[in-house]
Amino acid sequence: MELEIRGKVAEIKGRKVTVNLQLLAGETLCATGRVLMIQLPPTA
């Protein structure tokens, strides 16, 4: 069975992005989650 992760941006605040996720096996929803991602500043 193939697994699929779907994500949708919930919020963007400056360098912080919150994404809501769903893990599906076929058409069955197996798990949900939320990820907070922070963009790193560019390096010199």
Mean of pLDDT values over 2-29? 97
For the chain, the structural domain boundaries read 3-32
Query: Which pLDDT band holds residue 42 (cuts at 50, 70, 90)?
Result: confident
Residue 1 has pLDDT above 90, yes or no: no
CA distance 16 to 13: 5
pTM, 2 dp: 0.79
pLDDT in tens, 19-41: 999 999 999 999 999 999 999 98
**Of 1, 15, 16, which is closest to residue 34 (Cα–Cα)?**
16
Mean of pLDDT values over 10-22? 98
CA distance 3 to 29: 10
pLDDT at 44: 61
